[in-house]
Amino acid sequence: MDNSKKNIDDLLEKYWSGETSIREENDLKTYFSGKRVADHHKQFAPLFTFFSEEASLKEIDVSDQVMQKINTSDRPKIIPISNWRKIISIAASLLLLRRMLWGSDVSRAAVVDARFAPYLVHPLPALDMSAQIPKKSDLRQMEGWQRIGVYAAGLALDDAGLGRGSPLRAETDLIVAAGSGERDTSVDARILEAAMQDGDPAMLAKEVLPAALRPTLFLAQLSNLLAGNISIVHNLTASSRTYMGEEMAGLSCIEDAWKRIAAGQAEIILAGGALNAEREDLLLGFELGCNLHMQPFASLWNRSETGGGFVPGSAGAFLVLEAASHARARAAKPYARIASVGSDRSNRMPLAAASVLDGLIARAGGGLPSPSTLVLSGASGVEPITGEELGVLRARGAVVRGYGSVLGHTVEAHLPLGVALGAMALKRGMCFPPFDESGVELPVEGVPEDVLVTSMGHWRGEGLVRLARITGEEAR
């Protein structure tokens, strides 16, 4: 490496801007642990020397690491799942128009990964991230959840006819549903072991954390930086908002978009979210509340007998939502119409959420669900809420598909994902085959006229989106 003062100054500048690769940070570590540290650099030495003896950070680029993870192909296929597959470009609309896409092959539905035993995850399939994120420097500055989201956002924009260079991108508002990014769990583990050995709490502040935390990782952790990265990579420069709050984030995101467009406060919005389920820190966060399903795998409606819980799934789901008039003017083809979005917060006393859901369905329109209504349930599998939801849907005689059985529970991205699936079903004029063999989901023939997508948060928040098929008249 080039140890000149200028080069180190440049590297430090890059480091503090959160732009260094692990390799460059290792160069800094090597420099600072050597004997020829320039005087004006000495103040920074503690940042780079604490873990130097452990050769802790491997000599690989973060992006390579993630790619390796993504490319691992020998996963057990647990549920054989049928026909619809490939990257499916979908979208929908009318009153609002919408288009969407999610970045995955639905055949991954079949895939459950036991890397985090006793927990299971639905992993992301192999993707060439550079197809949507061409710059290596952009890829390097993102962690998995951000790459997934930026990738899916790009697919949605392309599918809606807003390809790279489209002037409409500068006018497209952005709404993201997000949690936050991944921690470096190996660093956390080392810090914890160090803390166990040295009871002095001052040690964390003085030596451990400054050396262990990387600016780049900080930028990958902030909730609003998925939106920030989408703006940077896809040149979206109108407004940008991020909603948080687990499943409620996805619900707030879709509801805000729908209301603004319906009221004329916006014309075209990119809305969605992303989850990287393949993270120990994320699994820990949900397991603190004992929310995860453990091996062996069971589909959603079969899960309550073995304790319930959710199997997290990696996913990115973005939709382009658009005023019908705006879409018509640019000759964009809608996937479906969003007829209504409803949401509420119950206190989760027994059956409180069920009563809220029942009210939301009643408010979405008379006679729902009709025989031609498909209900896409966003149930997580966590009990008792999943059982309460199923009770309401069965009492109303709904045709139900719980998409979490095949795609996993995708938390913030889950409602956008369900809306995307619903839009696809309406566009194709067919219901999905059953996702589950418990007998709850029966095969049906016929063209769906409506889709209800439910969003019952595993902890809080209740919501319902109603999608309607575009009629011949609307399509003109």
Partner 1 sequence: MTSGSGTRRYRDAKGRPVVVVTGMGLVTSVGRSVDETWAAMRAGRSGIRRITRFPIDGLRTTIAGTVDFMGVEPYSGPDLCFEMARSAAQEALDQAGHTTGEFRGPLYLATPPAELEWEQRIALRKAPLDCSKTGYPRLMAAARTGHFRHVFERYQFASVADRLAGHIGSRGLPISVSTACASGASAIQLGVEAIRRGDTDLAISVGTDSSVQLESLIRFSLLSALSTCNDQPEKASRPFSKTRDGFVMAEGAGAVVLESLESAMARSAEILGVVSGCGEKADDYHRTRSRPDGSAIIGAIRNAISDADLAPDAIDYVNAHGTSTPENDKMECLSLYAVMGERASTVPVSSIKSMIGHTLSAAGAIEAVISLLSLQRGVLLPTINYDEPDPDIALDVVPNEARSARIRHVLSNSFGFGGQNVSLVLSCAD
Tell which positions 275-294 bind partner 1, by CB under 8 A. Answer: 280-281, 283-291
Residue 369: cis peptide before it, omega within 30 degrees of 0: yes
Query: Taking the alpha carbons of 312, 301, 92, 456 in that order, is the dihedral positive or negative?
Result: negative
Does the footprint of partner 1 cover residue 27 (CB under 8 A)? no
User: Contact at 8 Å (CB) between 137 and 161?
Assistant: no
Distance CA 466, CA 454 (A): 9
Does the footprint of partner 1 cover residue 252 (CB under 8 A)? yes
Distance CA 116, CA 278 (A): 8
Footprint on residues 50-89 left by partner 1 (CB under 8 A):
none
The region of 125-133, 235-243, 325-333, 431-439 touching partner 1 under the rule CB under 8 A is 235-243
Q: State which of residues 126, 131, 189, 329 lies at the interface with partner 1 (CB under 8 A).
A: 189
Residue 89 parent element (H or E):
strand 87-90
Minimum separation from the CB atom of position 394 to partner 1 (A) = 25
Distance CA 386, CA 448 (A): 24
Distances (CA, A) of 12 to 22, 31, 224, 252: 13, 11, 25, 40
Residue 109 or 275: which CB sits closer to partner 1? 275
CA dihedral 125, 131, 132, 134 (to 10 degrees): 130
The region of 51-59, 68-76, 78-86, 232-240 touching partner 1 under the rule CB under 8 A is 232-240
Q: State which of residues 56, 107, 240, 370 lies at the interface with partner 1 (CB under 8 A).
A: 240
Does the footprint of partner 1 cover residue 21 (CB under 8 A)? no
Q: State which of residues 4, 7, 237, 471 lies at the interface with partner 1 (CB under 8 A).
A: 237
- Two tokens, residue 438: 């418990």
Q: Reduced to 3 states, what is the DSSP secondary structure of residue 348?
A: coil
Distances (CA, A) of 453 to 239, 398, 407, 420, 465: 27, 12, 15, 10, 5
Q: State which of residues 105, 171, 207, 383 lies at the interface with partner 1 (CB under 8 A).
A: 207
Q: State which of residues 104, 242, 276, 386 lies at the interface with partner 1 (CB under 8 A).
A: 242
Does the footprint of partner 1 cover residue 8 (CB under 8 A)? no
Instruction: Compose the 355-384 pattern: x for residues touching partner 1 by CB under 8 A, - for all others.
Output: ------------------------------
Count, residues near partner 1 per rule CB under 8 A: 87
The region of 1-9, 183-191, 267-275, 468-476 touching partner 1 under the rule CB under 8 A is 183-191
Counted residue by residue, the chain has a size of 476
Does the footprint of partner 1 cover residue 438 (CB under 8 A)? no
Minimum separation from the CB atom of position 85 to partner 1 (A) = 33
Q: Reduced to 3 states, what is the DSSP secondary structure of residue 118?
A: coil
The region of 178-186, 358-366, 369-377, 383-391 touching partner 1 under the rule CB under 8 A is 178-186
DSSP 56: -
Instruction: Compose the 110-149 pattern: x for residues touching partner 1 by CB under 8 A, - for all others.
Output: ---------x---------------------x--------
Does the footprint of partner 1 cover residue 250 (CB under 8 A)? no
Hey, which residues does 77 pair with through a beta bridge? 111
Cα 94 from chain centroid? 25
Please choose, from the candidates 453, 245, 262, 459, the residue with its C-alpha nearest in 3D space to the C-alpha of residue 360.
453
Footprint on residues 447-476 left by partner 1 (CB under 8 A):
457, 459-461, 463
The region of 73-81, 93-101, 317-325, 342-350 touching partner 1 under the rule CB under 8 A is 342-350
Q: State which of residues 263, 331, 349, 442 lies at the interface with partner 1 (CB under 8 A).
A: 263
Q: State which of residues 215, 365, 387, 391 lies at the interface with partner 1 (CB under 8 A).
A: 215
Helices 22-33 and 5-16, interaxial angle, to 10°?
A: 130
Minimum separation from the CB atom of position 55 to partner 1 (A) = 18
Minimum separation from the CB atom of position 245 to partner 1 (A) = 4
Instruction: Compose the 307-326 pattern: x for residues touching partner 1 by CB under 8 A, - for all others.
Output: --------------------
CA dihedral 189, 147, 237, 475 (to 10 degrees): -140
Please choose, from the candidates 160, 163, 130, the residue with its C-alpha nearest in 3D space to the C-alpha of residue 147.
130
Q: State which of residues 201, 350, 366, 367 lies at the interface with partner 1 (CB under 8 A).
A: 201
Distance CA 271, CA 145 (A): 16
Does the footprint of partner 1 cover residue 193 (CB under 8 A)? yes
The region of 14-22, 68-76, 102-110, 299-307 touching partner 1 under the rule CB under 8 A is 14-22
Distances (CA, A) of 176 to 71, 186, 227, 249: 27, 29, 6, 8
Does the footprint of partner 1 cover residue 209 (CB under 8 A)? yes
Minimum separation from the CB atom of position 434 to partner 1 (A) = 31
